[in-house]
A and B are shown apart, each in its own frame.
Chain A
């Protein structure tokens, strides 16, 4: 909000310079920037519009901060030109939404251009000069914080009515727009027609023009939420609507009308009449108990009652009498100035005191707390372990957006992780970012493609939350996604998965064919990651579009399965025997089945089976592949003899030939 330094200085005279004011305001009041010239940008906080979104309010703060006095030359009593308030009446129909309405009748107004000093202040504060009457309305708002409006009294029939709009009611505003109103919106009207959208904008039909002779000045107070909602619904934001939305005190309205009438008398040649004041429910006085001990305890600094009362009095607070506290000590009550709608608790008083003293004058003190165990949630620790493992294994971490396009929904086999229904935004920013991601795969796939422009191989992972719509609400899951592009991507990924799960202590899992709908993975090259008791943890497989593979795992489910307990197993006393077997098999036969079969044939003696070599070649014949397995035999209780191992090998050979029709090489 823009302010005029010269007006502040006029209202709070003192020896300070503009740059001193800027510095002190930043440390004791609001963020303030020198805009050059006479202008200041002061960021008035949303809770302080009632008292401080005005030059008077800022001047009061200035006086408190610099230890000077407020001085308002125009605060004398009004001398009315008439004893009668004029012929107008005010009828508030909705007393809840219209908290106060003051109307002042001014006759014999001479519309002219404003004096230079007024024009300059308006310009500094970013407003355009129109004519003396309109400018005075705006100046009163800048000075007091109270939005004002002036109607051409000759265009108003009968009295003022404050009511809710009728269904289908329309209004043409002074800036030549037309708005359709609804029944929740408050309007200012006369007996025949509407005159203004209450607290937001005036109507065209009652506008001040160069022929205006008599005016009706409005200084009112409206329910802040109602103005906020109406302004939002209409998409119409004005200085007045912004201020009213911030819960101004109804007490401010009287200051507004007095200031306006005084200026109209002086600078628009007007004859002023006593104003009408309809104030259905007067704002009550607010008293807060001053508990010095509590205040000192909150701030962390010793305070004296006298010091505190002094500081507060500079901001218009006054100390009243005493109260009995604990039957012994006498404490004081603090009366809150009427405009301070932001002060409701003793904490609010503490803030006033602390900021005037200056937060930088507080001495840092270590907190005294009982020693407790500082813990990290288990999922956080699991994420850490996985990140460290993957970085060690050569994978780099990426972060992608949580929002994706509708087209990218259900790219991966998302039914593994939720309902499969996407979660849509009500107010998306763009088509690309319209839906919450249901899988990390759209981001990872894009990362693979992007990075392949710069690198021959890409190894990445991401840990992030994905979303789906369930019957009870939005389902949120934390996933690990790993993606890589390399020559043997999918097998590398499978090897990585094995060692990752082993490291996490998950041994009972298997990898059957995927069998979940998706557009991401190549059929026949994709697997489910499933526990021994058939919980599906995730998937992995080769992807379309890139020579690469992607894996996703549900970390929430994984968390329940990981087992960090390790137990030492005695080293075997007996040696192992290793035998290789090479076979020529039909392409259709899958290695996984052969491995499982070998293990099953010789359950007791086979310690490990591994595929150590495989290739396909024209020389081998159509649809054939050569496979070499290494089998490790070991007995727990004796050294195996060659004959024993030969017997086992013969049995294995025979069954492989019978079952899979392979050729030994």
Chain B
């Protein structure tokens, strides 16, 4: 490049020599330039505020009047010449653009209209893909269920407080009939029971329906809509989605469940998250478990990085407003309420009464079952604060996914 001009000679003849070199070089480069970007680089290099020519003008200021008279005219002349070449080159280059069709490529692209799948569809699909990769089949079941499949067959007897765990929408009692799919009803020995019809409160009835029709070993998941007679708020809806899982075989065990579910959550959240199993109670499993997964936001610490911005964010304080245990105040994770864990799933080993309901001999079989709430997973994954958004039909919401 133009090393010579970086250091301008102090003598007048030397300066004139430098100017000459600069002229030759600049003309050569400008002639060869091919596109407007390169051209702009050259403009900055020679004619820019800190460009080569201005360096000469800087030196000019320090010269005597006599020397200025000799040096200024050729310098001015060169500046003018270079500007002319530059202008010409600019119009040349834009000419070539016009001749190539005249399209202004900086115009915005044509808007394509692409639809958006509902976030619950997207999450359900992801879940199905993960389980399919682990050899689980996907089946569905009816939303209107009989009392038998929803409760009795799942070891939730009538007049038992355990039933109160599921607030139920019942159909008018004159609709006390068999469900429509008589095929399924009549094939199971124990299932030709008439009972009040209801809106299924969980996807677990499909466990019985599937077992009545299939022989183990098998593993399935069952996505579907379920209903609860509950006042709606930011985390409760009258209808929502569950994904049920069921794996049955000769020696399917709790350690297997732990493996499958750990794999599942790590793939779903794409992080190497730990899971935690706690005792819980569901009448159709024994032992019964609750599954927690490490909080995806704070990675299990209960705290978020970053400075405390407002008083309301400070959570590491005692009631008197003093830091807890001498710690500095920190920003608590609101997703897991600082616990570091997210409750995401109920599970357990299939109860022997449930195997009996389905016509299996519980002595020969073992299995695990689990159920998770799709909305809860989607809310965690996408940071959605209110479950009601899913059923709002609001495209401003749906178009974000």
Assess whether A47 is interfacial by the CB under 8 Å rule. yes
Q: How many residues of B contact A (CB 8 A)?
A: 85
State which of A224, A365, A377, A426 has its C-beta within 8 Å of the C-beta of B255: A365
Set B165, B180, B279: member contacting A30, Cβ < 8 A: B279
A657 to chain B, nearest CB (A): 42
Interface residue A447 (Cβ < 8 Å from any Cβ of B): yes
Beyond A451-B394, A472-B182, whether A351 also contacts B238 by CB under 8 A is: no
CB-CB < 8 A to B218: which residues of A?
372
Query: Which residue of B is nearest A296, CB measured?
Result: B253
Q: Does A459 lie within 8 Å of B115, measured CB to CB?
A: yes
Q: Is the CB of B239 within 8 A of A402?
A: yes
Residues of B137-188 at the interface with A, using a CB-CB cut-off of 8 Å, are 137-140, 142-144, 157-162, 165, 169-173, 175, 177-180, 182
Instruction: Determine the chain B residues whose CB is within 8 A of the CB of A476 once the complex forms.
Output: 142-144, 180
- In the complex, the answer to whether A369 meets B286 with C-beta atoms within 8 Å is no
Interface residues of B in 288-343 (CB under 8 A from A): 288-290
A362 at the interface (CB under 8 A from B): yes
Do A401 and B287 form a contact, CB below 8 Å, given A45-B281, A473-B197, A474-B175? no
Q: How far apart are the CA atoms of A48 and B238 in the complex, in Å?
A: 29
Residue of B nearest to A433 (CB): B238
B372 within 8 A of A: no
Give how many A-B residue pairs fall within 8 Å (CB-CB). 259
Query: Known contacts being A31-B278, A298-B254, A393-B115, is A364 close to B262, with CB within 8 Å?
Result: yes
Identify the closest chain B residue to A232 (Cβ): B159
A246: chain B residues at CB < 8 Å are 161
User: Which residues of chain B are within 8 angstroms of A299 by Cβ–Cβ distance?
Assistant: 253-255
Residues of chain A contacted by B171 (CB below 8 angstroms): 423-426, 474
Task: State whether the Cβ of A46 lies closer than 8 Å to any Cβ in chain B.
Answer: yes
Q: Are B349 and A347 in contact (CB under 8 A)?
A: yes
A387 touches B281 (CB 8 A): no
Known contacts A300-B256, A473-B175; decide if A467 and B138 are in contact (CB<8 Å): no
Residues A359 and B289 in contact, CB atoms below 8 Å apart: yes
Which residue in B249, B253, B287, B395 is a CB contact (below 8 Å) of A355? B287
How far does the alpha carbon of A436 sit from the alpha carbon of B115 in the complex, in Å? 28
Task: Determine whether the beta carbon of B217 is less than 8 Å from that of A370.
Answer: yes
Q: A225-B160, A397-B118, A423-B175 are in contact. Are A402 and B225 (CB under 8 A)?
A: yes
- Chain A residues near B115: list those with CB within 8 A: 390-397, 459, 461
For chain B, residues 365 to 401, give those with C-beta under 8 angstroms from any C-beta of chain A.
366, 390-391, 393-396, 398-399
> Which positions 239-295 of chain B face chain A at CB distance < 8 Å?
239, 247, 249, 251-256, 258-260, 262, 276-281, 283, 286-290
Partner of A298, one of B125, B137, B199, B253: B253
A400–B388 Cα gap in the complex (Å)? 10
Residues in A neighbouring B178, C-beta threshold 8 A: 472-473
> Which chain A residues lie closer than 8 Å to B395 at the CB level?
396, 398, 451, 454-455, 458, 460
Q: Quick check: is B135 within 8 A (CB to CB) of the other chain?
A: yes
Contact B140 A359 (CB under 8 A): no
Closest to B277 in A: A359
Judge whether B229 is part of the interface by a CB distance below 8 angstroms: yes
Query: Residue B86 at the A interface, CB < 8 A?
Result: no
Q: Are B128 and A376 in contact (CB under 8 A)?
A: yes
Closest B residue to A297 by beta carbon equals B251
A545 in the interface (beta carbon within 8 A): no
Tell me if A28 counts as interface (CB < 8 A to partner B).
yes
Which chain B residues border A48 with CB–CB below 8 Å? 281
Contact at A397–B170, with CB atoms within 8 Å?
A: no
- Whether B366 contacts A298 by the Cβ 8 Å rule is yes
Given A359-B277, A359-B278, A423-B171: A351 and B180 interface contact (C-beta under 8 Å): no
A539 and B124 CA atoms in complex are apart in Å by: 29
Q: From known contacts A29-B279, A374-B137, A476-B142, infer whether A427 and B170 are also in contact, taking CB-CB under 8 Å.
A: yes
A475 CA to B227 CA in the complex, in Å? Answer: 18
With a CB–CB cut-off of 8 A, which chain B residues contact A366?
Answer: 256, 259-260
- Decide if B278 touches A399 in the complex (CB within 8 Å): no
Query: In whole angstroms, how far apart are the Cα atoms of A27 and B277 in the complex?
Result: 7
> Which of B177, B288, B393, B394 contacts A473 (CB under 8 A)?
B177
Is A345 interfacial (CB 8 A cutoff)?
A: yes
- Of the listed residues A226, A376, A446, A470, the one surrounded by the most CB atoms of chain B closer than 10 A to its CB is A376
Residue A348 interfacial (CB < 8 Å): yes
> Is A94 in the interface zone, CB < 8 Å from B?
no
A87 part of interface (Cβ distance < 8 Å):
no
Report whether B135 and A369 are in contact in the complex, using a CB–CB cutoff of 8 Å. yes
CB closest residue in chain B, given A28: B279
Bound-state Cα–Cα, A170 to B295, Å: 55
Q: Which of A449-508 contact B (CB under 8 A)?
A: 450-451, 454-455, 458-461, 464-465, 467, 469-470, 472-476
CB distance from A555 to the nearest CB of B (A): 12
| CB nearest neighbor in A for B290 | A31
Interface flags for A417-433 (1: CB within 8 Å of B; 0: not) read: 00000011111110001
- Docked CA distance A60–B395 (Å): 56
For the complex, what is the distance from the CA of A224 to the CA of B158, rounded to whole Å? 11
Chain A residues with CB under 8 Å of B255's CB are: 299-301, 362-365
The 8 Å CB contact of B179, one of A31, A376, A428, A474, is A474
Does the CB pair B219–A426 fall under 8 Å?
no
Contact of A459 among B113, B132, B219 (CB under 8 A): B113
Further 8 A-B residue pairs, CB within 8 A, beyond A355-B279, A426-B172: A224-B159, A242-B161, A298-B254, A360-B276, A370-B217, A427-B229, A446-B393, A474-B171
Where the two chains meet, the residues of B that have a C-beta atom closer than 8 Å to any C-beta of A are 113-118, 120-121, 125, 128, 132, 135-140, 142-144, 157-162, 165, 169-173, 175, 177-180, 182, 197, 199, 217-219, 225, 227, 229, 231, 238-239, 247, 249, 251-256, 258-260, 262, 276-281, 283, 286-290, 349, 351-352, 366, 390-391, 393-396, 398-399
Give 6 CB contacts A-B under 8 Å.
A347-B352, A377-B140, A402-B143, A436-B199, A451-B393, A451-B394
Interface residues of A (CB under 8 A from B): 26-31, 45-48, 224-226, 228-229, 242, 245-247, 297-301, 345, 347-348, 350-351, 354-355, 359-360, 362-367, 369-372, 374-377, 379-380, 384, 387-388, 390-403, 423-429, 433, 436, 443, 446-447, 450-451, 454-455, 458-461, 464-465, 467, 469-470, 472-476
The 7 closest A-B pairs by CB, nearest first: A300-B255, A45-B281, A300-B253, A351-B287, A359-B277, A225-B159, A394-B113
